[in-house]
Amino acid sequence: MKQDMIAIIDLGSEENSAIARLIRSYGVYSEIYAHDITLEALKKMPNVKGVILNGGPNRVVDGVKIDVSQDLYSIGVPFLAIDHDTDKCPQGKVSDIKSFIFDTCHCDANWNMDNFIQDQVELLRKQIGNKKVLLALSGGVDSSVVAALLIKAIGNQLVCVHVNHGLLRKGEPEQVVRVFREELGANLIYSDSVDRFLDKLAGVEDPEKKRKIIGAEFIRVFEEEARKLDGIDFLAQGTIYPDIVESGTKTGKAVKAHHNVGGLPEDLKFELVEPLKYLFKDEVRACGKALGLPDDMVYRQPFPGPGLGVRCLGAITRDRLEAVRESDAILREEFAKNGLQGKVWQYFTLIPDTKSVGVRDNARCYDWPVIIRAVNTVDAMTATIEHIDWAILDKITSRILSEVKGVNRVCYDLSPKPTATIEWE
């Protein structure tokens, strides 16, 4: 890292990430550290040009007063103390921060995605040498960007494993193969595990059991693929900065175990490669874009790990799973056509495990309903529904009813979170 950096020290504020993002938006790199960081550790951080002590109300966390070690002040760069008495960063402070980083610390605004990529490529080559790296490539934003970055740094020393568990959206496995194997020339192992997952899930109704089966089976398939390979020393992961910040700079606790590592057996020992671990989500997307990944991969909406498995309610059946996949594809297509893609935070369809009576071709039918969900949120903790134009809903409804087999009704879920959650399971 050759760029200037502002260190933010967490003294119990909820605004650490907001301030780090603000500073980065000015083109100056910034990282968040726990309050008990030592002078030696801070000195090791490259190019620290200033320190922000970011305190919450009275700098008290869980009833305990916290402060930085006093010798930190001898580091020889300017300090700015921010003590909020509200929870939100007051607007007035924004200009103080800007003036601090440029007028007081004389930072150069030279941090951007191009030099982030250059730095990472250099660091990755140094860390990995001529060894091999394994990556579970789901096709989600984070793993896709990690893959693209590693391909740029080490080419075919990266081995990607894409597990198709049958619960991905329409076209996703094909897109992973097309983009990574055909366009980027990646060393990609494609594991068609659809039957294996669906057999394991057959008859399982409980949503938590379904999640556990999908998670455990994923690790098993990935482990089996990893064992077939020789000479892999590293495991790449799409850990991003919120994963690290949320795991407790305040308490100085270790980073939480990430699911795809925690589950691997002891004898499969890999060193971790986490090139995105200092990027926020929007920066990860910008990095993917700069690396040439397609927009629909980089800007895609959130998608749960268990995929369509939690949208095919109750015990998963192949007919309903296909109907969820097809109706979701129609919904996404119509949202894109009508300028709603990228505007609505998350939208999808789901199918409950209850049929209803209808009429088709002058005869009674007994078919599935499709439910449409479209929500907006900032942090997924609460959500409001999108007020979709009736004409768009009408079009989506008529397409689903005519194109998706076994469906005779379409409903729109009007429930906010709370009381509902975003997903139904």
Closer by beta carbon to ligand XMP, 357 or else 380: 380
How far, in Å, CA of 169 to CA of 166, rounded? 9
Amino acid identity, position 237 = Q
CB of 289 to ligand XMP, least distance (A): 22
Look up residue 313 and give its two tokens.
């309610």
Look up residue 108 and give its two tokens.
């150069």
Residue closest to 110 by CA, chosen among 241, 1, 8, 240: 1
Strand order of the β-sheet with 5-11 is 29-34, 5-11, 48-55, 79-83
DSSP state of 101: I
21 binds ligand XMP (CB under 6 A): no
CB of 198 to ligand XMP, least distance (A): 18
3 binds ligand XMP (CB under 6 A): no
DSSP state of 278: T
Residue window 376-395: x/- pattern of binding to ligand XMP, with contact defined by CB under 6 A: ----x---------------
Look up residue 146 and give its two tokens.
């990690």
CB of 308 to ligand XMP, least distance (A): 11
Look up residue 91 and give its two tokens.
């607007």
258 binds ligand XMP (CB under 6 A): no
Any idea what the Cα angle at residue 201 is, between residues 198 and 202, rounded to 5°? 85
Helix, strand, coil percentages (3-state) for the chain, rounded to 5, are 40, 20, 35
Q: Which of residues 333-352 bind ligand XMP (CB under 6 A)?
A: 346
CB of 210 to ligand XMP, least distance (A): 9
Closer by beta carbon to ligand XMP, 24 or else 210: 210
243 binds ligand XMP (CB under 6 A): no
Q: Which of residues 306-335 bind ligand XMP (CB under 6 A)?
A: 306
The count of residues interacting with ligand XMP (CB under 6 A) is 11
Q: Which helix (H) or strand (E) holds 151?
A: helix 141-154
Amino acid identity, position 329 = A
Neighbour count for residue 171 (Cβ, 10 Å):
14
Candidates 93-101, 220-228, 298-306, 321-329; binding stretch for ligand XMP (CB under 6 A): 298-306
Residue count of the chain: 425
Work out which of 152, 211, 289, 399 binds ligand XMP, going by CB under 6 A. 211
421 binds ligand XMP (CB under 6 A): yes
Closer by beta carbon to ligand XMP, 157 or else 346: 346
CB of 137 to ligand XMP, least distance (A): 16
Candidates 14-22, 188-196, 336-344, 416-424; binding stretch for ligand XMP (CB under 6 A): 416-424
Residue closest to 117 by CA, chosen among 149, 155, 151: 149
CB of 421 to ligand XMP, least distance (A): 3
Rounded to 5 degrees, φ, ψ at 125 are -65, -40
Closer by beta carbon to ligand XMP, 184 or else 422: 422
Q: Which residues form the interface with ligand XMP (CB under 6 A)?
A: 211, 302, 304-306, 346, 380, 417, 421-423
